[in-house]
Amino acid sequence: MRFGTTKFDAQKRFDLRKPTTIHRWLNSSTTTPQMHPIKHAIFSLLFLVLCPIIHAVYSTQFIRFTAEADLSHMVISKPNVVFILADDLGYGDLGCYGNTILNTPNLDRLAAEGLILNQHYSASPLCAPARAGLLTGRYNHRTGAISVESNRGLDRIALEETTIADDFNQAGYVTAMIGKWHNGLYDMRYHPIARGFDHFLGFLNGGMFYYNWILDRDGYSERSDKRYLTDMFTDEAVGFISANRQDPFLLYLSYNSPHSPLEAPQELVEKYMQMGKLNKGVATLYAMIESMDAGIGKVLDSLKETGQAYNTIVVFTSDNGPLLGNYSSDEGKYNMDRYNGSLRGMKQDVLEGGIRVPCLVRWPKGFKGGKTLNPVGHFIDWRPTLIDAAGIKSASTLPLDGRSLLSSFRTGQDDHVRSLFWQFNRYDPEVHCNSAVRNGPWKLYYPRIPEAMIKLKSDGPPYRELFDRPHFEMEISNPPVERTLSDARAPELYNIEEDPSETNNLADQYPELVSELKSQLENWFEDVME
């Protein structure tokens, strides 16, 4: 097994010069020793006329089969997994989700070949907690990853937790993580290599420059070669896929696009600026997304070229909703408001705009594509779903909160209605602050308590200083944060199936339902905070 960007010389799986079955039959000795001379002559003539035609047709079909059917009969029995995660990509940031400006042909191709999940939710409206839920299959509050303050250890997954990489690793898979980690910065015990991944190339903090980057490769620093970072991650992913064409693998490809800082190839930025509809901030962000889409296209092509596409589960989603509103850079201040479907809210909100994220999934061997599904899915579901698909066991001794979505992918139906939960604020979690529970069509939502959402300026170095190093070795400090909070606001109730924009508060009309969902939320919070 090799890991890196060195290209793997393509190995011919079949030698088309070898005689085929029809060649062997036509040349067999069973055709003529006792055959009548006239019949023999006729047969010989037919042979001379038809053999080239048959050979041409057969060879053409065979070559087309091997090229287009992804060598399905040659794949290993265990499915590969390529899980692709975008960063701060919103529900409306893809063509297949209704964006008419943004060019995402490769993700649109993935959508056409696979499934579009209409009601798929992140575990949190913020990076690190969302990723913790994804990796563990458990609510992020259980894991200790409740926010992004690395200097307090609030971004990291507790050591007693296991990850989906542990599951696949113990099942004999080669596991790799490429891109943004953000689940442990200051202590190497929380490094991806210590959490089930055989290989890691990326950065451990929450952001990185796209041209002047510094990365961690299996614990060692690697400085920028001036490649655009999205391209760097793509090249590594393609190299890993090519190197492991004979081995089952799990690849967690975590692009940092389109997370700040806003940096993209200039020609793409100019393309979107020339449309005359976008300011430079949104134009740059769209250019970042198009660059990522091009990289994902190369990853999909690599799977096809290596004969692995048929039995590879490919998932694409985003860690949380988009950053909207104002964005300040060295070049100026930009309004980042843009199309996000009809959803209300953004990153850091547990409104639909902050937690409902695009999701595409394709597995030709496992289920038919070309469908849009409405069953509700959640980040905590991916670990049980993928181990179910692979037929392997969980490495966790702790109960998972998610459930397998595999049957829903095959039938398009929900197995059963359940309650799902979200909550986020800075530092000590507050149950009635920026929290929500959804059950069936109903969603109960507690608005933010403003004071609970503020990050202390004293927490760690300025954010961009973290870009200069791939990781730190230092002790964390997590003393209690003393603050006075305003009273919680009254909860709001929405029918999400009828009102995904969350504009019609029905709390006064259904007081009993509000009470029931409120109790569910409070009981859940008490459980996960034990």
Distance CA 218, CA 237 (A): 15
Percent of the chain exceeding pLDDT 90 equals 79
Same domain, 59 and 99: no
Domain boundary among the residues 416, 448, 475 is at: 416
Q: Which of 142, 171, 206 is nearest to 461 (CA)?
A: 206
For the residues 371-398, what does the mean pLDDT come to?
Answer: 97
pLDDT exceeds cutoff 50 at 26 = no
d(CA 225, CA 222): 9
CATH number of residue 465's parent domain: 3.30.1120.10
Identify the pLDDT of residue 458. 86
Per-residue confidence (pLDDT) for residue 180, from 0 to 100: 98
Residues 63 and 167 in one domain: no
Residue 371 to residue 438: CA distance in whole angstroms: 24
The residue type of 520 is Q
Structure confidence at residue 328 as a pLDDT band (50, 70, 90): confident
Same domain, 332 and 315: yes
Give me the pLDDT at residue 182, please.
96
pLDDT of 397:
96
Q: Which residue has the higher pLDDT, 7 or 423?
A: 423
CATH label of the domain that carries residue 114: 3.40.720.10
Of 13, 43, 68, at which residue does a domain stop?
68
Q: Shortest CA distance to 223 belongs to which of 405, 469, 488, 433?
A: 469
Burial class (CB in 10 A: 0-12, 13-18, 19+), 69: middle
Residue 340 per-residue DSSP state: B
Q: Which residues lie below 8 Å from residue 463, measured CB to CB, with a gap of 6+?
A: 206, 207
- The domain tally of the chain equals 3
Q: Is a pLDDT exceeding 60 seen at residue 483?
A: yes
Bigger pLDDT: 8 vs 327: 327
For residue 58, is it within any domain? Answer: yes
- Looking up tokens 């999940």, which residue turns up? 117
Domain-embedded: residue 176: yes
**CB neighbours of 429 closer than 8 A, spacing ≥ 6?**
141, 146, 423, 525, 529
Helix (H, G, I), strand (E, B) or coil at 446: strand
Q: Are residues 82 and 178 in the same domain?
A: yes
Are residue 403 and residue 518 in the same domain, yes or no? no
Q: At what angle do helices 127-136 and 382-390 cross, to 10 degrees?
A: 30
**For residue 486, is it within any domain?**
yes
CA quadruple 259, 358, 370, 247: dihedral sign: positive
- Residue 24's pLDDT band, with cuts at 50, 70 and 90, is very low
Does any domain span residue 428?
no
27 and 124 belong to one structural domain: no
Q: Rounded distance, CA 192 to CA 182, Å?
A: 10
Q: How far is CA 258 from CA 155, 261, 285, 468, 512, in A?
A: 20, 8, 6, 19, 42
What's the 3-state SS for 284-305? HHHHHHHHHHHHHHHHHHHHHH
The strand ranges marked E within 204-358 are: 214-217, 220-223, 249-254, 312-318, 326-329, 332-335
Helix (H) or strand (E) holding 180: strand 174-180
Q: Which residue has the higher pLDDT, 44 or 9?
A: 44
Q: Is it the case that residue 203 has pLDDT exceeding 50?
A: yes
Kindly state whether residue 488 falls inside one of the protein's structural domains.
Answer: yes
Per-residue confidence band for 475, with pLDDT thresholds at 50, 70 and 90: confident
**Domain span holding position 452:** 435-528
Q: How confident is the model at residue 33 (pLDDT cuts 50, 70, 90)?
A: very low
Alpha-carbon Rg for the chain in angstroms: 26
Residue 423 within a domain: no
In a domain, 249, yes or no: yes
pLDDT at position 492 over 80: yes
Q: What is the mean pLDDT of the chain?
A: 87
Helices 280-305 + 266-273 axis angle, to 10: 120
pLDDT of residue 50: 45
Q: Give the integer Cα–Cα distance in Å for 500 and 369.
A: 25
The pLDDT tens digits of the residues spanning 84-107 come to: 999 999 999 999 999 999 999 999
49 and 180 housed in the same domain: no
User: Which parts of 78-137 are beta strand (E)?
Assistant: 80-86, 115-117, 120-121
The tokens for 241 are 């896929």
Please, which residues have CB within 8 angstroms of residue 192's CB and are 6 or more apart in sequence?
165, 177, 181, 200, 202
448 and 335 in a common domain: no
Within this chain, do residues 31 and 170 fall inside the same structural domain, yes or no?
no
CB burial class (10 A; 0-12, 13-18, 19+) of residue 277? exposed
Per-residue pLDDT tens for 216-259?
999 999 999 999 999 999 999 999 999 999 999 999 999 999 99
Cβ–Cβ < 8 Å for 153, 186:
yes
- What residues contact residue 448 under an 8 Å CB cut-off, 6+ apart? 349, 425, 433, 434
218 and 298 both lie in a single domain: yes
Same domain, 108 and 146: yes
Q: What pLDDT is attached to residue 331? A: 78
pLDDT of residue 461: 75
Residue 8 in domain: no
Average pLDDT over residues 425-446: 98
* Both tokens assigned to 108: 């649109």
Residue 51: exposure state from Cβ atoms within 10 A (0-12, 13-18, ≥19): middle
Task: Please check whether residues 477 and 458 belong to one and the same domain.
Answer: yes
* Residues in Cβ contact with 378 at an 8 Å cutoff, skipping those fewer than 6 apart: 120, 121, 122, 123, 133, 402, 420
**Domain-terminating residue out of 356, 381, 416:** 416
